């Protein structure tokens, strides 16, 4: 599949002033261009409750000190985060090479110990001060072979654990760097490209290759502990789902480009159960791709997983049995807070659900510009729940704030460039990453 056709769209020229009261304009949402209705089975996504029948209650926002890896932590559960009720931009920094004809930014930043860590499209890792955006150090990680220097999509992902920064790359290298200096501590080289961010906790690093090998490494020295290999898919999505790892239950959940979701005993690599997140219902050509790009979430004894091919399901962690399922497809990690699950579908539906039953409470379609020629090149990412608002950003430069209680759009802004990775939040600060390799901090 052509990655550009799937993920790129020219940035809109719309610009609005930030309101004095905070980040999001309260103007009525009126976007440039003609909106074309998307053909979808809306009845399947209609709320299962009457209006006002369910009153959503969420835990109070909490301030997290870290966003240590993709999904925030190793189980991909961050809850209701504190980011202030009146966000204002307070710094912006460039971190290297952004999207081009052959290279793409795949990785969101990570935040730890008041430092923001980034990796650009050319596999250069940088550290910035969280309070002002000043650069601390930079380190380009390189392939062993000169022939691999021109490989595209070099920077795959980052994670922080025990004051080390773990790096995965499109040329197959896995690196551990000293957090303070960027000095290399160890490296592990895999012949197959890695385009998924690592998952790290409890002394283990889990990395996944494009050939569907899941590899467990010792976080201290990079020694391989075990690996699992499944079949490959001829056509798949660029990037993928970072494994979810619960050290207390000794379980890691991995998702593959075949649509397979599999649970392993993290200490030994023994397979516990598997599922296939594929439906027979095909809404469009892209829905024929079986891959799973949305990272799974572990919430106690339940795994929540979203497949690209129209399956959202809750699975019993121990038995592997499905608790419920819905025909919803997407590429973004579901977000859980309290008793509710929020998910963004491939059709730009932002949906609130009861996590215990899968019943829909409300459904709001994100009003991005859509036309028949460009829809395949446009996508949205998120949501992230901060201070009583769900944040959704889009590849054509919109950032929306949506009420988690009733789905109403609270406001929106536009950036001068598109956003193709979800925002990250730590210390009450929200950071957006643009396609031009800028990180923009709001406080």
> Can you tell me the mean pLDDT for 319-325?
98
Q: Which has the higher per-residue pLDDT, 335 or 122?
A: 335
CATH of the domain at 172: 2.130.10.10
% the chain with pLDDT above 70: 82
Say if residue 383 is preceded by a cis peptide, omega within 30 of 0: yes
For residue 12, is it within any domain? no
Q: Is the pLDDT of residue 359 over 90?
A: yes
pLDDT, average across residues 296-313: 95
Quick check: 426 and 62 in contact, CB under 8 A?
no
More confident call, 149 vs 184? 184
Q: Report yes or no on 1 lying in a domain.
A: no
The yes-or-no verdict on residue 122 having pLDDT over 80 is yes
Residue 17 lies in a domain: no
pLDDT of residue 375: 54
Averaged over 127-151, what is the pLDDT? Answer: 87
Q: Is residue 6 part of a domain?
A: no
- For 185-220, letters b (16+ CB in 10 Å) and e give ebbbebebbbbbbbbbbeebbbbbbbbbbbbbbebe
Task: Assign residue 386 a region (left: φ > 0; alpha: ψ between -120 and 50; beta: otherwise).
Answer: beta
Question: Is residue 344 a part of any domain in this protein?
Answer: yes
- pLDDT for 302: 98
Q: With contact defined as beta carbons under 8 Å apart, do 289 and 304 qualify?
A: no
Does the pLDDT of residue 322 top 90, yes or no? yes
Residue 273 confidence (pLDDT) above 60:
yes
Range of the domain at 191: 22-442
Q: Among 288, 383, 3, 382, which residue's Cα sits nearest to residue 170?
A: 3
Closest CA to 413 of 31, 54, 114: 31
Give the pLDDT mean for 382-402. Answer: 94
Query: What tokens appear for 53 in the block?
Result: 């029948």
Q: How much is the pLDDT for 329?
A: 93
Q: For residues 252-265, give the mean pLDDT.
A: 95
3-state secondary structure of 44: helix
E-state strands within 293-437: 297-299, 302-307, 311-316, 322-326, 335-337, 340-344, 349-354, 360-365, 380-386, 389-394, 398-402, 409-414, 424-426, 429-433
Supply the pTM of this predicted model.
Answer: 0.89
In the chain, the number of structural domains is 1
User: Tens digit of pLDDT for each residue in 39-52?
Assistant: 444 567 899 999 88
Structural domain contains residue 14: no
Q: Could you give the C-alpha distances from 164 to 155, 158, 169, 174, 409, in angstroms and in order? A: 17, 10, 16, 13, 39
**Residue 20 pLDDT:** 30
Assess whether pLDDT exceeds 70 at residue 12. no
CB 337 within 8 A of CB 353: no
Is residue 2, in this structure, part of any structural domain at all?
Answer: no
Average pLDDT in the chain: 86
pLDDT at 278: 83
For residue 3, being part of any structural domain is answered with: no
Distance in angstroms (rounded) separating the CA atoms of residues 438 and 402:
24
Q: Which two tokens stand for residue 419?
A: 């956003």
pLDDT of 32 higher than 90: no
CA pair distance 159, 203, nearest whole angstrom? 13
Q: What is the pLDDT of residue 433?
A: 94
Which of 23-32, 58-67, 75-84, 253-262 comes out lowest in average pLDDT? 23-32
CA distance linking residue 216 with residue 58, whole number of Å: 36
Q: Please tell me what DSSP assigns to residue 273.
A: E
């Amino acid at each position: 599949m052509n990655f550009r056709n799937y993920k790129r769209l020219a940035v809109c020229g719309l610009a609005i002033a930030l309101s004095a009261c905070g980040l999001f304009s309260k103007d009525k949402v009126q976007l440039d261009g003609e909106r074309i209705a998307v053909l979808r089975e809306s009845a399947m996504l209609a709320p299962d409750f009457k209006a006002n029948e369910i009153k959503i209650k969420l835990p109070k926002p909490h301030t997290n000190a870290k966003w240590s890896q993709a999904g925030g932590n190793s189980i991909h559960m961050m809850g209701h985060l504190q980011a202030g009720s009146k966000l204002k931009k307070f710094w912006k920094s460039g971190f290297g090479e952004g999207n081009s004809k052959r290279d793409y930014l795949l990785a969101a930043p990570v935040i730890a110990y008041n430092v923001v860590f980034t990796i650009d499209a050319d596999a250069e890792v940088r550290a910035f001060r969280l309070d002002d955006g000043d650069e601390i150090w930079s380190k380009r990680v390189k392939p062993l072979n000169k022939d691999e220097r021109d490989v595209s999509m070099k920077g795959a992902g980052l994670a922080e654990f025990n004051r080390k920064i773990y790096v995965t790359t499109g040329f197959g290298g896995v690196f551990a760097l000293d957090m303070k200096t960027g000095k290399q501590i160890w490296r592990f080289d895999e012949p197959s490209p890695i385009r998924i961010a690592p998952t790290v906790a409890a002394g283990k690093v889990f990395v996944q290759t494009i050939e569907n090998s899941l590899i467990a490494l010792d976080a201290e020295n990079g020694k391989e502990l075990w690996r699992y290999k499944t079949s490959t898919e001829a056509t798949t999505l660029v990037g993928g789902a970072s494994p979810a790892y619960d050290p207390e239950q000794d379980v890691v959940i991995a998702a593959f480009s075949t649509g397979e979701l599999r649970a392993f005993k993290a200490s030994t690599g023994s397979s516990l159960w598997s599922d296939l997140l594929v439906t027979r219902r095909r809404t469009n050509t892209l829905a024929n791709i079986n891959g799973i790009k949305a990272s799974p979430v572990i919430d106690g004894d339940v795994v929540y997983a979203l497949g690209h091919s129209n399956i959202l399901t809750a699975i019993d962690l121990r038995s592997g049995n499905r608790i419920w399922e819905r025909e919803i497809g997407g590429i973004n990690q579901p977000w859980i807070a309290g008793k509710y699950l929020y998910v963004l579908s491939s059709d730009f539906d932002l949906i609130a659900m009861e996590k215990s039953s899968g019943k829909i409470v409300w459904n709001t379609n994100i009003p991005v510009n859509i036309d028949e020629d460009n829809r395949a090149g446009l996508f949205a990412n998120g949501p992230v729940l901060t201070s009583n608002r769900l944040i959704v950003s889009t590849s054509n430069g919109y950032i929306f704030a949506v009420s988690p209680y009733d789905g109403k759009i609270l406001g929106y802004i536009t950036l001068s460039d598109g956003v193709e990775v979800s925002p990250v939040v730590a210390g009450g600060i929200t950071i957006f990453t643009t396609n031009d390799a800028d990180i923009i901090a709001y406080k």
